[in-house]
Amino acid sequence: MIVVMKPDATMTQIEHMAEHITGLGLTPQVIHGKHQTVIAALGEERQGLLEALEPGEGVEKVLPIMAPYKRASSELKKERTVVSTRDLVVGGGRIAMIAGPCSVESEEQIVSIAKTLRALGATGLRGGAFKPRTSPYSFQGHKEDGLKMLAAARAETGLAIVTEVMAPEHVPMVAEYADVLQIGARNMQNYQLLQAVGDSGKPALLKRGMSATVEEFLLAAEYILDRGNPNVMLCERGIRTFEDHTRFTLPLATVPYLNEKSHLPVVVDPSHGTGKSRLVAPMARAAVAAGADALILEVHDDPEHAMSDGAQSITPATFSQLVEQCRRVAAAVDRSV
């Protein structure tokens, strides 16, 4: 920590802060600059220090130095994490395609689309059984029945099932059917849920909160990792900004940034990230070019009659072209699809 004192801080205030730093188990090193004094607080930069230092008398600001995440950091674990379940492998040379409808609507629908997607190159099947909806009056998903439909689709196709879990008490039930537990953007800081998913040991796909900083995103992953579950995928799905021509703003620079700071694989969701079906394929290609390890995509046989998110769903025909385009871009960055 670097404690920056105000230009008019008194010697008494400076000495008081130095003692306060010592009291917190750190070693203060006072540096008198031309205009201001700064105090380096040396030692383990644990959580809570910032908050303990900031309110001091004469303090202008406190600058943390170390990243607060540990287990997610590429500094502690140099080897890149590969998350693998059934044929779905996220991380490594091959880019995975996770696809499916927003909501599981019926067994017939999900089995049918699963077969199509498998044939087109997907190794993961997404589909919501529990749906977090902005309004209490919207369709909330088929719940456990939906999970059974997903399991039926897996039985037919071998696709790994990726589905959202919305509450800690649902984790055991969802884990019984799913191969990957998805934590939605709205729940990125639902800590009980993160811990329950951590405890389950199941692969987790953690979506970035729509206004979470990358540091907060990695700290949310830390909650899962800290429970002894190493199988975490980070999913960029767009952030909320002033832009109004897309549903969210998809900041692809997080892909190479996360690849540098963390060993966890990175998934990109261009469906939610744009909210417009026509923008999905170009952003899928861009994500692959930027270094994404997997894509998660909303695909629906008949977007106009989808029970949710029709506007951002692509058809199987578009998905087929998208996979082919991504295959070519992947080859251009020495990877494959």
How many residues bind to its own copies according to rule CB under 8 A?
112
Site for its own copies in 202-231 (CB under 8 A): 209-211, 213-216, 219, 222-223, 226
What does DSSP say about strands 124-126 and 204-207: parallel, antiparallel, or unpaired?
A: unpaired
- Type and span of the H or E element at 4: strand 2-5
- When the beta carbons of 81 and 262 are compared against its own copies, the nearer one is 262
- When the beta carbons of 253 and 317 are compared against its own copies, the nearer one is 253
Cα–Cα distance measured from residue 29 to residue 264, given in angstroms and rounded to the nearest whole number: 36
Query: Are the beta carbons of 323 and 295 closer than 8 angstroms?
Result: no
Residue 37 CB, shortest distance to its own copies, in Å, is: 10
- When the beta carbons of 119 and 278 are compared against its own copies, the nearer one is 278
Residue 48 near its own copies by CB under 8 A = yes
Query: Are the beta carbons of 202 and 228 closer than 8 angstroms?
Result: no
Selected from 15, 22, 25, 54, the binder of its own copies by CB under 8 A is 54
Residue 285 near its own copies by CB under 8 A = yes
- When the beta carbons of 94 and 276 are compared against its own copies, the nearer one is 276
Residue 233 CB, shortest distance to its own copies, in Å, is: 18
Residue 137 near its own copies by CB under 8 A = yes
Question: Environment class of residue 143 by beta-carbon count within 10 Å: exposed (0-12), middle (13-18) or buried (19+)?
Answer: middle
Residue 290 near its own copies by CB under 8 A = yes
Selected from 111, 267, 279, 299, the binder of its own copies by CB under 8 A is 279
- When the beta carbons of 47 and 79 are compared against its own copies, the nearer one is 47
- When the beta carbons of 122 and 250 are compared against its own copies, the nearer one is 250
Residue 155 CB, shortest distance to its own copies, in Å, is: 29
Selected from 205, 306, 322, 323, the binder of its own copies by CB under 8 A is 306
Site for its own copies in 73-132 (CB under 8 A): 75, 132
Residue 7 near its own copies by CB under 8 A = yes
Residue 36 near its own copies by CB under 8 A = yes
- When the beta carbons of 88 and 223 are compared against its own copies, the nearer one is 223
Cα–Cα distance measured from residue 132 to residue 190, given in angstroms and rounded to the nearest whole number: 13
Query: Are the beta carbons of 263 and 81 closer than 8 angstroms?
Result: yes
Beta bridge partners of 235: 207, 267
If we measure between CA atoms, which residue out of 200, 240, 233 comes closest to residue 218?
Answer: 233
Residue 286 near its own copies by CB under 8 A = yes
- When the beta carbons of 115 and 186 are compared against its own copies, the nearer one is 186
Cα–Cα distance measured from residue 88 to residue 2, given in angstroms and rounded to the nearest whole number: 45
Q: Around Cβ 306, how many Cβ atoms within 10 Å?
A: 19
Site for its own copies in 155-174 (CB under 8 A): 166-169
Residue 316 near its own copies by CB under 8 A = no
Residue 277 near its own copies by CB under 8 A = yes
Q: For every residue of 154-221, which 3-state class applies, written as one string?
A: HHHHCCEEEEECCCHHHHHHHHHHCCEEEECHHHCCCHHHHHHHHHHCCCEEEECCCCCCHHHHHHHH
Q: For 307, how many CA atoms within 13 A lie in the half-sphere containing its CB?
A: 19
Binding pattern to its own copies, positions 237-256, x when CB under 8 A? --xxxxxxxx--xxxxxxxx
26 token code pair: 């750190």
